[in-house]
Amino acid sequence: MSRVHRHTTLASAMGLCLLLSGCAADSTDRSSSSSPPSLGFVNGDTKHFHTCLEKAVRETARNNMATLRVANSQASADRELSNIRAMIDRKVDAIIVQSVDSKALDADIAVAKKAGIPLFVTSYTPSDGNDEVLGAVLFRLSEIGRLNAHWISKDASGRQVEVGIVSGDGTSSSNSMVSGFTKGLEDNVRVVASEPGGYDRSRAKSVASRMIKSHSDIQYLFVVNEDMAFGVREALDEAGSTDVRIVTANGTDEGLAALKDGRFSATVSSSVMEMGELAVTNALSLLRGDQTDKIAYVPNRLITEGTADAAAIYCPYDSI
């Protein structure tokens, strides 16, 4: 079954001005019930994940007739805090934050709390728990690793096999995925090598090349995202290691295509589009006082060649 992306359309005759990033605007009267809700979105970087998340946030805000202002922290915790302060100055009703890392959130929360502006977080949660935030949408990262581990264990069918791991950059998200993976393996599956690829395709390629030279009996490679997995695939092809199977994560269109033609054996689909949609709709619901889960999780789905066409859309269309 083909994957279909259905966009919600709203009548423009309602006459509500939608304010996107960079648009000049009069200040919104936050106390007026007739005014559209106003949101700020502080994004953490400009990588593919972050651009996809921003597209989903923009579209969902528009469909819910909420005004939106966007800023990007470009992987800087200091810039992130400055962006939070700028959103507070613009008197938004709530700020959605895709933080550069979990440590940066503590300063964000302190500043926003003092200003009386609620924060809604994605991907990361603050070190003191979730009591200080409006809500959160998260990935179950350890489950992503565990699903890949279970696929390998099942595919090995009890045979003694060797596995290599190409991790991310040593951050908590990468570590959680790797921990879930190693804990999910059966006793017949042995990890013989593990090295960070830094979320960089060329670096991951070099890591994989070294692994298969040092461990010629590796049958599987777990790579924590699909972009690096493409680099790993190049290394395997150049070395003639066509029997080594790659398991990975994301569920991008490119990744699903690689499943269909055999370059990857399995991936775990975790839709960034769903994260962005949930962030906006849940933040607005919680602001209204609706019965909405404070903490929501984006579903993880193990995808193989046979189920690739049914995978959730990872990223909204580029035209959005």
Amino acid at the residue 212: I
Q: What is the pTM of this model?
A: 0.84
Helix (H), strand (E) counts: the chain: 9, 12
Phi, psi of 225 (to 5 degrees): -150, 160
Give the closest residue to 274 by CA, choosing from 244, 312, 236, 305. 312
Amino acid at the residue 176: S
pLDDT value of residue 32? 44
Q: With beta carbons less than 8 A apart as the criterion, state whether 169 and 203 touch.
A: no
pLDDT value of residue 33? 54
Burial of residue 314 (number of CB atoms within 10 Å: 0-12, 13-18, 19+): buried
**Structure-token match 């992306």, residue found:** 5
pLDDT value of residue 144? 97
- Distance in angstroms (rounded) separating the CA atoms of residues 156 and 189: 8
- Distance in angstroms (rounded) separating the CA atoms of residues 30 and 27: 9
Phi, psi of 96 (to 5 degrees): -90, 130
- Distance in angstroms (rounded) separating the CA atoms of residues 83 and 89: 10
pLDDT value of residue 119? 97
Residue length of the chain: 320
Three-state DSSP at 291 gives: coil
| pLDDT (tens place) for every residue of the chain, 320 residues total | 444 443 333 333 333 333 333 333 333 344 445 689 999 999 999 989 999 999 999 999 999 999 999 999 999 999 999 999 999 999 999 999 999 988 899 999 999 999 999 999 999 888 777 788 999 999 999 999 999 999 999 999 999 999 999 999 887 789 999 999 999 999 999 999 999 999 999 999 999 999 999 999 999 999 999 999 999 999 999 999 989 999 999 999 999 999 999 999 999 999 999 999 999 999 999 999 999 999 999 999 999 999 999 999 999 865 44
Helix axes 102-115, 77-89, angle to 10 degrees: 20
238-246's contacts with Cβ under 8 Å and 24+ in sequence apart are 238/209, 239/209, 239/212, 239/213, 241/212, 243/219, 244/212, 244/218, 244/219, 244/220, 245/152, 245/155, 245/219, 245/220, 245/221, 246/220, 246/221
pLDDT value of residue 138? 95
**Structure-token match 């069918």, residue found:** 157
Helix or strand (DSSP H, E) at 92:
none
Structure tokens at 298: 């984006």
Strands (E), 140-197: 161-167, 189-196
Fill in the DSSP letter of residue 312: P
**Structure-token match 């099942």, residue found:** 154
Q: With beta carbons less than 8 A apart as the criterion, state whether 136 and 295 touch.
A: yes
- Distance in angstroms (rounded) separating the CA atoms of residues 143 and 270: 11
